[in-house]
Amino acid sequence: MRIDIITIFPEMFEGPFTESIIKRAIQKGIVEIHLHNLRDYSNDKHNRVDDYAFSSGAGMVMMIEPVDNCISHLKSERNYDEVIYMSPDGELLTQPLANRMSLYENIIILCGHYKGIDERIREHLITKEISIGDYVLSGGELGAAVLTDSIVRLIPGVLNDETSALSDSFQSGLVSPPVYTRPREYKGWAVPEVLLSGNDKLINDWKLQQAMERTKVRRPEMYEILKKK
Ligand code: SAH
């Protein structure tokens, strides 16, 4: 998979993309991430990418021309499954959406800033808008990093233990059961006996029951959907 990210702050991705699972996925050649500094696509002599909003004093708006230049350049080189804009009023990022997107070959992610982007970009250049939650961030970069992480870890070969993504919360409509590691007892706090039993059937039954119980308490709306199935 190839992910092209358009941003005015490429350095913000240092860290999220240079550590841990995404770093490994890049090293293994499973994913390519290309950062594009929007200022490089500005025709303005000061490399401006934003301007005042028509009819409102407050806040700057990202201009259409540099964004169009960048997206057109990328599209001239390959086809894209989606051109995504990170936006608080977009489709909420969920595990099913991440699952679907992990099958894509090429995507563009545009990060907004300031008051947002000229609406004509959304009307004519963007094919999908995604929100990472009902709150407002200063820019799309953190959202783009979250979206990228949620997708990349689902691509086969990225996680060492293939089943580990499948047993994560939300994959089966349940949240995850609790997990434990050594020591068996700490300050008198013991690991549930069943996990040490070596009996796979008992262990799996316990995990399912714990996951159901947690889902019922923590995410009742998910539990209701599960009950109807
Ligand atoms: N004025 C806009 C918010 C602009 S915030 C409004 O009220 O809707 C600046 C940028 O941050 C946006 O262009 C978007 O790219 C990003 N952003 C903010 N909140 C986000 C969220 N919840 N999910 C994804 N991107 C977000």
User: Which tokens is 23 given?
Assistant: 């770093």
pLDDT of residue 171: 83
Q: Report the 10 Å Cβ neighbour count for 7.
A: 23
The reply to whether 209 and 184 lie within a common domain is yes
Ligand 1 pocket, mutate which of 91, 118, 137, 150 (most atoms under 8 A from CB): 137
Q: From 6, 8, 25, 28, select the one nearest 17 (Cα to Cα).
A: 25
* CA distances (Å), origin 213, targets 46, 100, 134, 153, 193: 58, 28, 27, 27, 18
Q: Please tell me the predicted confidence (pLDDT) of residue 136.
A: 97
Map residue 133 onto helix, strand or coil.
coil
Element (H, E) at 65: helix 64-77
Residue 189 resides in a domain = yes
Cα 17 to middle of ligand 1, angstroms: 21
Examine the pLDDT at 63 and tell me if it is beyond 70: yes
- Tell me the CB-side half-sphere exposure of residue 206, using CA atoms within 13 A: 14
Beta carbons of 41 and 71 less than 8 angstroms apart: no
- CATH number for the domain spanning 31: value is 3.40.1280.10
Between the CA of 112 and the centroid of ligand 1 the distance, in Å, is 7
Q: What is the mean pLDDT of the chain?
A: 95
End-to-end CA distance of the chain: 34
Residues 64 and 140 in one domain: yes
How far, in Å, from the CA of 117 to the mean position of ligand 1?
A: 9
In this structure, the answer to whether residues 98 and 196 fall within a common structural domain is: no
Tell me: do 110 and 67 sit in the same domain.
yes
Domain limits for position 124:
2-152
Q: Which atom of ligand 1 is nearest to the CA of 139?
A: 11
Residue 157 domain-assigned?
no
Q: Which atom of ligand 1 lies closest to the CA of 133? A: 22
Count of the separate structural domains present in the chain: 2
pLDDT at residue 163 is higher than 80: no
